[in-house]
Structure 1
Amino acid sequence: MIALVMGVVIGIPTALILGKLLGKASEVLIAIIGVPLVTYAIALHELGLFAGLNVSMDGFSPEFIAGTETFLGLIVALAYVEFRTRKGLRIDDFIQISFITLPYISLGVALASQFWSGFLAIGIVLIGIVVVLSLKNPLRGLNVKPCPQEIGDCMTDEDSLMGALIRDTVLIGGRTLKEFPRARELVECMKRAGKPSSLRKATGLLVSLLPLLAVLLPPGDLTVIVGLTTAYLSTLIGAAFVTKGHPTPCPEVAREYREFLRKRKRKIDVAV
């Protein structure tokens, strides 16, 4: 279990440090990527030591042990994320995390499955659990409060800029409420915004699972490079499928809001 221990020892502190510097979304991303990836790399090195040898460890093959360590690394990362995000997420972090989670979980599952294919089925079950929990309580982990009465029916925080409509709940960043002159109109527009169709949501979900295809690659550097690239692109494409493609009820307000964000030098793509 050296690989797993090293993955946790390296991945978790790195995530914690970067989280302090860059925010909670970065902490979550580094944890989900770092722990299983470091575990995978070390397990792969250990596996090379047994190349060509017919050995077993307590009745299990080295490949199965390597896959188990990598998969457990993913589980540890998710447990850490659950602990760190429980009732403590700003709206900006919540929205970003909602898009990055599944692609990088899928990558972790693919890494473990390269050693033993059975982890692919187990990983799909794990992904299903994550999706079901998200659907059951889509606002889970958010640290928000009701908007001021003069703004309207929405939820806000202290200093976020992003906004989203989650089912029937409008989320709007606290900094936007304070600094955007047409905040009240923005909230009303978000309430009237069209919701993505079930087909678009399903397509976005499938796109988020594309990193699972990394299991088809040979173990090694190619898997890491292609897997990380696919996960990154899946995040962008999946977000576009969910947030784009429906008419904007208030194009003028939406345009001013995007300009408001641009002036604050925040690289955020928001669909209003």
Structure 2
Amino acid sequence: MSTATTTESKELAPVSAESLAALLISKERPPRPSALSASLTFGWRAILKIKHVPEQLFDVTAFPIMMVLMYTYLFGGALAGSPKEYIQFLLPGILVMSVVMITMYTGVSVNTDIEKGVFDRFRSLPIWRPSTMVGYLLGDALRYAIASVVMLTVGMILGYRPDGGFVGVVLGVALLIVFSFAFSWIWTMFGLMLRTEKSVMGVSMMVIFPLTFLSNVFVDPSTMPGWLQAFVNNSPVTHLASAVRELMAGEWPAAEIAWSLGWSALFVLIFGPITMRLYNRK
């Protein structure tokens, strides 16, 4: 009886502060991950979420196919005489429109993780603070690339032939992904600012729909009223669509590329700091 009691008391004996401190500092702490390493890790996390919930790819597969088919056969005969002629003008523009529209799901993902409390854990980690947001955007860049491949494949089947060849197409898609990466910072800001994912979706639609439809995606702006042309010709989506369209046609639109990259830099410089300020205070 006494032996059992003695054994139990030995097992429950408190650990001294000195021995605990010696245990904790006996080994070197692992090095702090670099900004690139942390961002890539969170990007891989975003990709794994797609793997476990493949329904997330619906908006980058079925939605782009529907957009190409609907607008080609709906407007092709009226605007260009035939769908095959119209798709030469339409496809680069509808590609820009579709990818820019799906950028809003970045904000939805951010808002969902906030509601689940995941960000509380992220903020406690000894990592580069923006890496969580950059990781979301890197993961979504894969989604943009998938949407681009899907739409180009459908367009090729319908008769689209890029005169710029493989290089022109790759350059156009690369510019589109860079712009979309920068544009997504707007939605990360809304994802942190708004309370529910429905409100993020609602506000995003109010911004994206006028911005994408009031552009040169579907028609030449020269047919529009003068007051509308002033807005359309200076829209970031118009500059991007013109740059992608001409790159895929085998040309080098230096001015449009510069405008697109300039808009991208502006989005990051304005909405990046706002997003991180909200993230640190959320």
Instruction: Tell me the TM-score normalized by structure 2.
Output: 0.36
**Which structure shows the bigger proportion of residues in helix conformation?**
2
Instruction: Tell me the TM-score normalized by structure 1.
Output: 0.37
**Which structure shows the bigger proportion of residues in strand conformation?**
1
